[in-house]
């Protein structure tokens, strides 16, 4: 029997008692709606082959290969492999792989002209301690913005790149590191829920369009401080078989980056765009 329960006060919902590979359209519809309503959807106790995970991801949109080519699955490049090959040949820990996603709160794909609608992970190996993923609501961040700031940023665009102002692009191939910045509205109206959220990523934003450099820096600092609201968070403690999808249009996330490095924390990941927005990617 399918059970759906809310796990955070303003973000996060958990589903149990369902095998996602067997869902028909009628069975999938309440999961999709729960995801729209709560930003993050956790489905417990799944047992998926590679192709089944990819097929389930495609129910949310068009699966697009991640720009980090070195971590794409060799048989299915639409799937990224997280947590593998974290030790170099000399035995040292590669921090870019071990702490991937743990440096800052972020939203996936802001560096693309058409950002990722969603990201989905499937847990294959989980450490004995640590390794959680933290989520936060962009709706809660927008609600917390003072009227002054909403009025200043309404209709204003931000410029984003993969490495942002720190040029943190070690996971990209050299030929992919000089992509020009793209522009997105800082206050974004969700195309399905029609709710407004703060669309922001301190690690990828370069500047606020139309603002002088000093004001742009001040605005970025202010947005960074308010984007994570105490009542708008959910912390997911992984178990093998968990499938978690989050809505990049209205939420942020980060890895805790704190698990024992000698233990495995391995996921398959898919990056998903909307059906009518996705274009070809190399």
| DSSP conformation letters of 133-171 | EEEEEHHHHHHHS-HHHHHHHTT-EEEE-SSGGGT--TT
Q: Is the pLDDT of residue 168 over 80?
A: no
Q: Is the pLDDT of residue 236 over 80?
A: yes
Q: Is the pLDDT of residue 265 over 80?
A: yes
Report the percent of the chain where pLDDT is more than 70.
93
pLDDT (0 to 100) of residue 163: 65
List, for residues 18-43, the tens digit of each pLDDT value.
Answer: 999 999 999 999 999 999 999 999 99
List, for residues 116-166, the tens digit of each pLDDT value.
Answer: 999 999 999 999 999 999 999 999 999 999 999 999 999 999 999 886 655
Buried b (16+ CB within 10 A) or exposed e, 230-252: eebbbebebeeebbbbbbbbbbb
Report the percent of the chain where pLDDT is more than 90.
82
Judge whether 234 and 95 are in contact, CB under 8 Å: no
Q: Is the pLDDT of residue 56 over 60?
A: yes
pLDDT (0 to 100) of residue 173: 46
List, for residues 209-222, the tens digit of each pLDDT value.
Answer: 999 999 999 999 99
pLDDT (0 to 100) of residue 281: 37
The arithmetic mean of pLDDT across residues 58-63, rounded, is 97
pTM of the shown model: 0.92
pLDDT (0 to 100) of residue 15: 97
The arithmetic mean of pLDDT across residues 2-26, rounded, is 96
The burial class, CB within 10 Å (0-12 / 13-18 / 19+), for 264 is: middle
How confident is the prediction for the chain on average, in pLDDT?
92
pLDDT (0 to 100) of residue 70: 85
Q: Is the pLDDT of residue 193 over 70?
A: yes
Q: Is the pLDDT of residue 175 over 60?
A: no
Domains and CATH numbers, the chain: 3-145+228-273 (3.60.130.10)
Question: Which residues lie closer than 8 Å to 42 by C-beta, 6 or more apart?
Answer: 7, 12, 13, 14, 15, 236, 242, 243, 244
pLDDT (0 to 100) of residue 174: 59
pLDDT (0 to 100) of residue 88: 92
Q: List the beta bridge partners of residue 245.
A: 41, 120
The arithmetic mean of pLDDT across residues 194-201, rounded, is 97
In whole angstroms, what is the distance from residue 200 CA to residue 225 CA? 11
Q: Is the pLDDT of residue 282 over 50?
A: no
The arithmetic mean of pLDDT across residues 64-78, rounded, is 90
pLDDT band at residue 96 under the 50/70/90 scheme: confident
pLDDT (0 to 100) of residue 264: 96
The arithmetic mean of pLDDT across residues 185-192, rounded, is 98
pLDDT (0 to 100) of residue 172: 46
């Amino acid at each position: 029997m399918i059970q759906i329960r809310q796990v955070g006060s303003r973000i996060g919902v958990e589903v149990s008692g369902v095998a996602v590979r067997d869902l028909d359209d009628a069975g999938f519809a309440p999961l999709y709606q729960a995801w729209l309503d709560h930003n993050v959807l956790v489905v417990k106790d799944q047992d998926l082959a590679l192709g089944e995970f990819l097929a389930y991801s495609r129910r949310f949109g068009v699966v697009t290969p991640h720009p980090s080519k070195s971590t794409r699955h060799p048989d299915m490049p639409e799937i990224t492999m997280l947590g593998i090959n974290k030790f170099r040949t000399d035995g040292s820990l590669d921090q870019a792989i071990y702490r991937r996603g743990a440096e800052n709160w972020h939203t996936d794909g802001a560096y693309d002209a058409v950002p990722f609608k969603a990201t989905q992970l499937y847990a294959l190996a989980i450490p004995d301690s640590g390794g959680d993923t933290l989520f936060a609501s962009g709706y809660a961040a927008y609600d917390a913005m003072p009227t002054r700031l909403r009025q200043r940023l309404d209709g204003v665009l931000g410029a984003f790149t993969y490495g942002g102002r720190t040029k943190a692009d070690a996971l990209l191939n050299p030929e992919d590191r000089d992509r020009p910045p793209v522009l997105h509205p800082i206050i974004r109206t969700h195309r399905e829920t029609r709710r407004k959220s703060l669309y922001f990523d301190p690690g990828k934003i370069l500047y606020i369009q139309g603002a002088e450099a000093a004001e742009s820096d001040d605005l970025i600092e202010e947005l960074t401080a308010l984007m994570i609201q105490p009542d708008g968070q959910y912390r997911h403690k992984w178990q093998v078989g968990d499938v978690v999808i989050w809505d990049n249009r209205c939420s942020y996330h980060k890895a805790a980056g704190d698990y024992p490095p000698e233990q495995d924390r391995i996921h398959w990941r898919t990056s998903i765009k909307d059906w009518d927005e996705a274009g070809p990617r190399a």
